[in-house]
Amino acid sequence: MNKYFTLVKYGARSCLACWKPVPVPEPKKPQNIEKYGFLGRAALSLQYSFLQLEYAISRGGRLREWAKLNVLLGIIIGIPALIVLPMLSLAVAGICAISLSLLATVKAIFYIILYALASAALVTAAGMFVKSKHKK
């Protein structure tokens, strides 16, 4: 347990070392917006609106830093997952196929034994029937 606690502590320290919020500058209105077409003006208006929203929510830059940290953690977790999970799923599928083959083999052996016992019971019953007919 101490080993895992140390690992979590190391991860928290690493995250805190990456946490360096930079204040967000106040957004400025786009200049010469008239020279752009309809889509360009719409894109500049949306950009300005989002920058105003970000500035209103987090002037100190914490929101932007939080997003950067989450993207970094997503990359750190996501890349190994994309490399390891396909191999792991392939191994599990192989183990599943092997276990299904073993199950089919055991089932076939069980039916062979069952048929042998049923055949032996029929032969024994037939022999007893024949003996009882010979005694009369």
Q: Which residues of the chain have pLDDT under 70?
A: 1-2, 4, 7, 136
- Assess if residue 78 is contained within a domain: yes
Res 64: pLDDT? 83
Res 72: pLDDT? 86
Whole-number mean pLDDT of the chain? Answer: 87
Total domain count, the chain: 1
- Assess if residue 115 is contained within a domain: no
| Token pair 């007893």: residue | 128
pTM for this entry: 0.49
Res 124: pLDDT? 94
Residue 13 to residues 9, 16, 17, 21, 95, Cα–Cα distance (Å): 6, 5, 6, 16, 40
The pLDDT tens digits for 100-121 are: 999 999 999 999 999 999 999 9
- Assess if residue 15 is contained within a domain: yes
Could you list the residue range(s) of the whole structural domain that residue 87 is in? 2-23+60-99
Res 87: pLDDT? 93
Res 1: pLDDT? 57
Res 62: pLDDT? 85
- Assess if residue 123 is contained within a domain: no
Q: What DSSP letter does each residue of 21-62 carry, written as one string? A: --PPPPP-PPSSGGGS-HHHHHHHHHHHHHHHHHHHH-TTSH
Distance CA 24, CA 52 (A): 10
- CB-based contact 24:64 (threshold 8 Å): yes
**Residue closest to 64 by CA, chosen among 19, 16, 13:** 19
- Assess if residue 36 is contained within a domain: no
Q: Which two tokens stand for residue 20?
A: 């360096």
Q: Which two tokens stand for residue 52?
A: 């105003």
